[in-house]
Amino acid sequence: MAASATPTPTPTPTPARRGGARSWAALAAFLAVTFCVAALGALASADAGDVYGALRRPAWAPPAWLFGPVWTVLYAAIAVAGWLVWRHPDRSRARRALAWWGVQLALNLAWTPLFFGARQYGLALLDIALLLAAVATTLVLFRRLSRTAALLFFPYLLWVAFAAALNAAVWQLNT
């Protein structure tokens, strides 16, 4: 008796991840874009320490010196997360997720001049609420493509949520 041959399914080829020198150049580009946003924010808030120090703040507000180190780590994580998604072989889904990555970065950039430069705490709160939604959307889209990218974005989501609460408290205490 002959055994019936069941055809083995042929695996669908997966496009190769972007690698090599091009990948490292892309990582450098993600870091450059992200830290340019950080630098522009720093320029827009040259007197941020004085402004922050002069504000009435809730008791749970962190000291001014904490923001620099926290944001440095977060910006690095934001850049690496974007790069990991950029490397994903599903170009269409990666492009959509990276569009949201760009949206959240633009909203991030807008917050500092609104809060520290213009001292428009209500507009800054609106911006940070939109930023929080954009970060959450980006994290969900990243999770579908790279668990590591989503994990890198999670502390950023928490920090933006905390910053939104602080922004709301500052607005309430200073109007």
- Quote the CA–CA distance of 18 and 26 in Å, as a whole number: 10
pLDDT, residue 15, reads: 44
Closest alpha carbon to 136 in 167, 166, 114, 164: 164
pLDDT, residue 18, reads: 61
What pLDDT, in 10s, does the model give residues 31-41? 999 999 999 98
Q: What is the pTM of this model?
A: 0.85
pLDDT, residue 34, reads: 97
Judge whether 58 and 169 are in contact, CB under 8 Å: yes
What stretches in the chain show pLDDT beneath 50?
Answer: 9-16
pLDDT, residue 10, reads: 45
Structure token pair of residue 123 = 């507009």
